[in-house]
Each structure stands twice: as structure tokens, then as C-alpha cells.
Structure 1
């Protein structure tokens, strides 16, 4: 039996929110390590998400200028993600969990590149997309020397939350 990667773009746009939810099940701040059948199902889900997203990221990257740094980074991420899909988990539950976490990190990176190439603007406080119609505020994280380290926008609801960098 031969295993091949899906290299054709999905017909519907990628559901990045669902993909990020899957990633957070393994890498989120409150994530509890799944085991047994749940881990196998989650691993399969992550692989499926990656197989859908890889062609979309790759296609978006190829449309960018040859000298574009985000293009170069996205294509490197695609290569890394394909390598993760070809790899196999080490024996045992610890090996399966480590492999699933590697898949989750690759999927998270693919989601980031997908959004960056699509021009999605992220909230600098909560790392969630800023959608049309949401209330936002300008944000400058200023260094002691006076220059802005990160400038952008945040959700109004995030204005009074504390984020540890």
C-alpha cells in the first residue's frame, strides 16, 4: 500500500480556527496529554489538517515575488511539514505523543504562514485574528530606549489584559 500526500488545493477555504483548536488540544496552556485511542485520533486529525493546508500555503507562497521573505519562509515551512508527515512515531505512547506534538507545531506554523500570506492581521495581545467590524485599538509596545518593539492593533477587549512575553 502506497501513501501519498494530497498536493491539490482544497475546494473550500481552510478552517484555520478548527485547525488551531486541534493544535491547542496538544500545545495549549491547559492541554492534558491524551492517550490511547484519543491520541491516535488526534494524530490522524492533525495529519489531515496538514494535508489540506500544505497545498494552500504553497500555492499562496508561489504567487509572491521571488525575493519575498515571507514566501521563502512559508516554502521552508511546507518542506518541514512534509517531512513531518513522512516521519513515523517512535514506539510506545511517549513516542506517539512526541510525534503528535511535532505535528501540532508544524500545523501551527502552517496556520501562521497561511494567515500571513493572506494578509490576516493578528491582535498583538491575544494572537487571534482581527476581523472586519471588531473594535480595535492601536498598540505600540515601547522599549526603554523609546522605539516601538511591536506596533499594530489589538482587540478593545484585550486592552486591559496582561500578557507575559
Structure 2
């Protein structure tokens, strides 16, 4: 590792946790999830189910494995969440016509209505989190995070 990054590495003698970028990534994510979970309680939802519902909103008729990739979750965990959502009447499942081994998932009308409620609640959390930042700062942050993701995905 080059010296230019040493300040950010936990292996240095004078390491300060607050200089470790992933400390802040995890802190921000954990606080976001906590705030979203708190807001979703009134609908009896949690962040895991929210993520699946919103993934389905953006990609209708996704397979369970597609959803698993989209929300970065184990296939078994995603399957449990999907069937919980199905029991709650928020999604339906069906076998793919081309390959019966593939289970596809679709939002029900109730699920579609719930995604709108979720978006209304999470918009409040997002506005709170971006207070004091300009749209350009947010775009630059997104670019940086996408770049880091690509680096880690190699």
C-alpha cells in the first residue's frame, strides 16, 4: 500500500477510527436503517422488507435470485423475506414459464400502495440526511461510492 493512504488504514500506529472511511460508511448506513425502521414501524415493516419491495418496484417480475443480488442478501434470506411478504399480501410469486425452477415475484396492488407509503416516509429521512448538502455534493458522493464499489467488485 502506498504511503498516500496510510492515514486511512487501521494498521498504522497512530490510527484514528474517525479517519477510516468504512467506519463512516457503516455508521451512516446503520443510522439510516435505524431511522427508516423507526419510520416504517407504523406500517409493520422493516428495512429488509422495504428493500425487497422497492427492488420489485424498480424491476417488476424479478426472480428471487435477481432480488437477492439487488439487495445484496443471501438467497435463503431473500426467499424467507419474499414468502413473508407474500403471506402479508404485498407480493405474489409464480414459476417462470421458460424455467419452472425460477420463481418470479410481483407486487400486488397492496404492495404497490405500500411502496408509495414507504417512499413518502423515506423521503423524509433522505431530506433529513442531506440537509446542508448541495445536489452537486450529493452527486459527487454518489460518484465516489460507485467508484469504490467498482474497485471492490474486481
Q: Is TM > 0.5 for Structure 1 vs Structure 2?
A: no
Between Structure 1 and Structure 2, the one with more helix by share is: 2
TM-score (norm: length of structure 2)? 0.34
- Please say which structure displays the higher CA radius of gyration: 2
TM-score normalised by structure 1 residue count: 0.32
